[in-house]
Copies of this chain bind each other. A is one copy, B any other.
């Protein structure tokens, strides 16, 4: 046998240099988070940086030092901004320093959470059990951590499809289902439900959207009529998707009302609680989601209101066997080995789409231990109180208009100086939003309610102070007045 060549590895040639670089990165990161308030919430990425990010495949090493320097110069400054106290776009968490450190530790030990006998699986089991406690489902439910709400809803709806079809869908496919399945949701349902239904091969007609009521909630009596119609038409009502805090306005469906219907009609009850499932942690507001504990499956996010860094969602399915039998490729009786690395009772890959899985459980576990969930409950109350404060500021301003009731922590409003058509108001508010972003003062997002463009502030941010709301409102009104003056001088 010939002499083997000298091996290379991807470990650093000099561990002390890597250690020093990591310490510098820690200092930079802590500085970044501790001073976030001093920076603009958003600024555009310069064209010169965009050009640098269109490089050829690097063949030669640049080294960790140079790569980190490029990160600091090109990447760190031009972020989305959701770590900033005045970021209220879409619906996100801001992350935390300890959560980021947890991701470092997770990637250092770097286990594959698909299965096997190692401690990570017990950490994930612990965290998933805590999520069951939060939503009120029993600890013997199935559950796993996923990338976020979209995947958590996909998991729940996939199990619903397979459980309700009346045939073996895995074997025979959707085409063999004798009657077309119908899933019900309100028109305010998150778009990921449609994406899931389409990917599951059911077709868009399988998701029947019931017009929401005036407060953007599921119209329960309209649902009952729709179910009766569909049964009469030979279809098979299958699943009702209730939403615990909708993305547009934060409205919360009447989950007990929906659960009653599901019980009576023998339908699968799925709750999209990506935003609002964690309302149970607030003694004040938990009544909003009463009935969630009756669901067959629940989707929730940890990277929204609870501020765990991306990605962290959770899917919970009451019937663990139905959950497993939707995804597992080995039958339950085919045991894993009894000892060694390939043993162990927890094989999360049998409960979802991924086989290789990262250790996202660690940041959830460490964050829950750091803060305790009662603090999350107080934070939830605080953000809801802030939303009401923002709404009060809107109502108190003669040139601002509140566009939807504030139920939890989402506020939809617009600048309306009077005398403008809907189209003019839409264009004006669209322009004001962009000016707000470009000013770096605040970053709400927007939505359209009944054809009317609204500024939309989702106050899920753990760094927001009341003064941030006030300065944002001041900026909206100032930009609005500037626009009006410019419009008058141009004779618009």
Contact = CB atoms under 8 A, between A and B. Distances in A.
Q: Which 7 A-B pairs have the closest CB atoms?
A: A201-B201, A173-B203, A104-B104, A340-B437, A174-B201, A95-B110, A107-B309
Given A5-B385, A175-B175, 18 more contacts: A1-B396, A4-B466, A8-B462, A9-B379, A10-B379, A18-B30, A22-B97, A25-B104, A29-B108, A42-B340, A53-B122, A57-B368, A66-B369, A76-B109, A78-B118, A82-B112, A310-B358, A341-B437
A422 interface: no
Contacts of A79: 109, 111, 118-120
Given A4-B389, A200-B200, A462-B10, A434 B370 contact: no
A227 to B, nearest CB: 20
Nearest to A396: B1
Contact of A54 (B117, B126, B180, B191): B126
A150 B354 contact: yes
A190 B67 CA distance: 35
A9 B392 CA distance: 22
Contact of A117 (B45, B111, B174): B45
A29 B23 CA distance: 11
Given A25-B101, A310-B357, A433-B340, A371 B118 contact: no
B12 A98 contact: yes
Contacts of A112: 80, 82, 90, 92, 310
A185 interface: no
Contacts of A443: 341
Given A25-B101, A119-B78, A203-B169, A57 B130 contact: yes
B180 A11 contact: no
Given A26-B23, A112-B92, A8 B310 contact: no
Given A123-B75, A202-B173, A374-B59, A10 B96 contact: yes
Contacts of A107: 95, 99-100, 102-104, 309-310, 363
Nearest to A369: B67
Nearest to A176: B203
Nearest to A337: B434
B354 A147 contact: yes
A425 B7 CA distance: 34
A366 interface: yes
A324 to B, nearest CB: 13
A354 B150 CA distance: 6
A433 B7 CA distance: 26
29 contacts: A4-B385, A5-B382, A7-B382, A8-B375, A8-B462, A12-B97, A15-B34, A19-B27, A25-B101, A29-B104, A57-B130, A57-B134, A63-B370, A80-B112, A81-B118, A83-B108, A100-B108, A102-B107, A104-B104, A110-B310, A169-B198, A191-B355, A192-B355, A310-B357, A311-B357, A337-B430, A339-B437, A341-B443, A342-B445
B372 A58 contact: yes
Task: Identify which of A199, A370, A464 gathers the most chain B CB atoms within 10 Å of its CB.
Answer: A199
Contacts of A371: 10, 61
Task: Identify which of A44, A90, A101, A301 gathers the most chain B CB atoms within 10 Å of its CB.
Answer: A101
A228 interface: no
A124 to B, nearest CB: 9
A373 B203 contact: no
A446 interface: yes
A397 interface: no
Contacts of A177: 175
A340 B59 CA distance: 35
A349 to B, nearest CB: 8
Contact of A95 (B66, B108, B353, B434): B108
Contacts of A151: 353-354
